[in-house]
Amino acid sequence: MGSTPKPTPHEHAVGRAARRRGAAARGEPVRPGRERQRRRPLPDTAWAALGALSLAVLLFACRGAPLGTPVLDDYSFLDRLTFQPPLDPFDSMGGAFYWRPLSRQLYFSLMGPWLLTAPRAVAALHVLLLVALYAAIFRSARRGFAAPVAAAIAAFPLVSEPARVLLGWPSAVQHLLAMLFAAAAIHEALAGRRVTAALAALAGVLSHESVALALPAFPLIAYFRTRRARAALEWVGASAAVGALWGAGYRIALAHGVRTPLGGGGIPFAAMGTVLVKALGAALNLEELAPETRLAVAWGYVALAVAAALLAARGRVRSALAARAPVMLGGIAWFALGTLPLAWIWPDWNAWRNVTPSLGLGAALTAALGAASPWLAGGLVVLRAAAVLAAPGAPQAAEIRVPQAITHVSFERLVRLQRIVDSTRAALASRYARLPHGGVVDFWVMPALSEVGYQGSRALRVWYRDSTLVWQSMPGRIDDAPPAAAYVGYNKSSRAPAVVLNPAALRGYARAEAALRAGRLAEADSLLGAALEAQRPLAQLFCALLAYRRARVAWELGDRARADSLNRQNFEWVGESPEYYVMEARVALAGGRRDQAARAVRRALAIKPGFPEAVALGRELAAGASPP
């Protein structure tokens, strides 16, 4: 019996077409062919939506922050810009270290006039730089990855906790430009354009040293792109040319007083492992999370890794991983080599210093997950976005104490400093349009670790465009000090904590101190009360001291109830202090509450170990002294 020949694929197609035409003629529904059931991939331009969404997450995580407000190093650069024109293109522009003429001299020359009058314009520029960064990374990644994976790689630096500092702080433009120029240099190298790649790399190293990572990457990219050793050697020449120009410039800069923190202490091998671990945690957005949230996010990364490992059992996935191996290995090397120099400045740790090396880690992780499934790459973006949103937000009030953080200048701490420093500028401007040439402004008990935000007297000098002004802490004996041009105090917790102090209140306090030294307790109490009334608006850190002094006077006069009331007023204004707990212990001991007195003494010593009054009172309690 002869076998019936099988129809060819062409005959199958002709038969399907005939059946669809017949069904259409009969008015029956036509089932689309399989080739029509497949959805067309989204155009590359549609993946800009992921960049916009990532940027929206970042902006939402920054809500309420005074973005672009100058603080810290900004005032060193603004001081140099204001008082030492023309700028020296080969110095550090007032910074302690480094030669970065594009991100310092050029950037602050262009944006300096906007920092005090329109800081949001500065933040808007940083937003545009982040958009350009996303576009550069996406276009580069698109050469070797499907659009969804390329978009996830490009979103990695946007949905990162350190990016909030890059967005909100003008001086962080040094790292933002470094990322952008590094991404642009790699993009041009992948396209085989030596001149523009070299120019982008040169602009990068003139913004931040971390872009030197691109120089050894150039010949490697050329080799993997062409598989020709000669092409790699040609790119070695491009890297050498950029390195030579940068090195020559740095040699001149060193002669102009530029310093680096490397010093001559040898290689800090012991710190390298610690720095790598810190950098990994920061790059994964784990650093500033609460412990429970950090654990949940870490398990999210584990789940993505396990899913990728299970899918790697498929031959197609193994092939995709092998094809992406150069990207993954290169990205890890980029991250490690870029992170290790931070060991020279350890334990001074700030996660935003490592954002350019973290680009390599982002490419490696996303490439590995994307090779298994584009959905896993998308899951990485979602997980990182959730971690950014779960991190501590912008504090709406500047507190006395410094927020807990691993990064020394975390986003939360940066916003606190911005509020303290800028409120000082606003408070002084509201009372003093001008200050006398050579004038001194004294501040009273500044919130903890906030003096650095002013960069010495530089902030005050920039505000009033007068290089002779002096910003200093109020002398201990203000009655012996010459009068200052202005006085500034602070509130415990406020969106704008700075307050101009009333000179009459300070004079009353000084006379009260003199009366106390002379033993005139009733007169001192009256003067302290008058000083308290004179200070309007309320300056809590100053007024709390007046209340505590009155509490001490009341105690010496034997009025324990009044001493306790005034001490509680002190606590209401500034919270915990060793002085408060010592007075609480005295009142408790006088009332026979020895356990409460002992707890108060222990708390005072916990806040300020060795506090003399607490130590003395503790000895009285240990000796079983009776209430005074």
pLDDT at 181 over 90: yes
Buried b / exposed e over 176-212, threshold 16 CB at 10 Å, is bbbbbbbbbbbbbbbeeebeebbbbbbbbbbbbbbbb
| 24: confidence class by pLDDT, cuts 50, 70, 90 | very low
Report d(CA 417, CA 490) in Å as an integer. Answer: 13
Phi, psi of 96 (to 5 degrees): -70, -35
User: What are the tens digits of pLDDT across the range 440-476?
Assistant: 999 988 999 999 999 999 999 999 999 999 999 988 7
- H helices of 559-611, in order, are 560-574, 578-590, 594-607
Residue 402 pLDDT grade (very low, low, confident, very high; cuts 50, 70, 90): very high
Average pLDDT of span 71-97: 95
Whose CA is closest to 275, among 350, 355, 196?
350
Residue 396 pLDDT exceeds 70: yes
Residue 20 has pLDDT above 70, yes or no: no
In tens, the pLDDT along 361-374 reads 999 999 999 999 99
Which residues, 6 or more positions from 84, have their beta carbon under 8 angstroms from its beta carbon?
A: none
Looking at residue 622, its pLDDT comes to: 84
Within a domain: 575: no
Give yes or no for residue 16 having a pLDDT over 70: no
pLDDT at residue 283 tops 60? yes
In a domain, 372, yes or no: no
Report whether pLDDT(34) > 50. no
Q: What is the mean pLDDT of residues 65-81?
A: 97
Q: What is the pLDDT of residue 2?
A: 46
Range of the domain at 412: 399-501
Assign 3-state DSSP to the chain and report helix, strand, coil percentages, each to 5.
Answer: 65, 5, 30
Q: Around 180, how many Cα atoms within 13 Å sit in the side-chain half-sphere? A: 22
pLDDT of 36 above 50? no
Residue 571: helix, strand or coil by DSSP?
A: helix
**Burial classification of residue 239, based on how many CB atoms lie within 10 Å of its CB (0-12 exposed, 13-18 middle, 19 or more buried):** buried
DSSP 19: H
Among 55-64, 208-217, 474-483, 571-580, name the one with the lowest average pLDDT: 474-483
Domain membership flag for residue 26: no
Average pLDDT over all residues of the chain = 91
Burial (CB count <10 Å: 0-12, 13-18, 19+), residue 382: middle
> Which distant-in-sequence residues (6+ apart) come within 8 Å of 372 by Cβ?
307, 308, 311, 312, 317, 320, 321
Rg of the chain in Å (alpha carbons): 32
Residue 380 has pLDDT above 60, yes or no: yes
Show the tokens assigned to 193: 């354009």
Residue 23's pLDDT is what?
46
- The total number of residues shown for the chain amounts to 628
- Does residue 308 contact residue 149 with C-beta atoms inside 8 Å? no
Closest CA to 465 of 82, 45, 38: 82
441-467 per-residue burial string, b: 16 or more CB within 10 A, e: under 16: bbbbbbbeebbebbbebbbbbbbbebe
Q: How far is residue 493 from each of residues 26, 48, 67, 528, measured CA to CA in Å? A: 79, 41, 20, 23
**Phi/psi of residue 244, nearest 5 degrees:** -65, -45
What pLDDT sits at residue 482? 83
Looking at residues 249-267, what average pLDDT do you find?
Answer: 88
Q: What does the alpha-carbon distance between residue 285 and residue 355 come to, in Å, rounded to a whole number? A: 12
Residue 153 lies in a domain: no
Quick check: 464 and 434 in contact, CB under 8 A?
A: yes
| Candidate from 5-19, 228-242, 249-263, 392-406 with smallest mean pLDDT | 5-19
pLDDT at 85: 87
What pLDDT, in 10s, does the model give residues 546-580? 999 999 999 999 999 999 999 999 999 999 999 99
Number of domains composing the chain: 1
* Cα–Cα dist 473/441, whole Å: 8
DSSP for 80-112, please give it. HHHHSPSPPTTS-TT-SS---TIIIIIHHHHHH
Q: Is the pLDDT of residue 146 over 90?
A: yes
Domain assignment present for 214 = no
Q: Which whole number is the average pLDDT over 216-243?
A: 95
Could you tell me if residue 390 is inside a domain? no
Give domain status of residue 574, yes or no.
Answer: no
Give the contacts of 439 (CB within 8 A, at least 6 positions apart): 468, 469, 470, 484, 485, 486
pLDDT at 27: 41
Sign of CA dihedral 610, 614, 616, 619: negative
Q: Which two tokens stand for residue 71?
A: 């603080």
609, burial (CB in 10 Å: exposed 0-12, middle 13-18, buried 19+): exposed
Q: How far is CA 576 from CA 347, 573, 580, in A?
A: 29, 10, 7
User: CA angle, corner 532, sides to 477 and 539, nearest 5?
Assistant: 80
Asked whether residue 460 is domain-assigned, the answer is yes
- Nearest C-alpha neighbor of 148 from the set 284, 51, 35: 51
**What pLDDT, on a 0 to 100 scale, did the predictor assign at position 534?**
94
Q: What pLDDT, on a 0 to 100 scale, did the predictor assign at position 623?
A: 80
pTM of the model: 0.89
The pLDDT of residue 263 is 63
Q: What is the pLDDT of residue 262?
A: 78
The residue behind tokens 């408790």 is 588
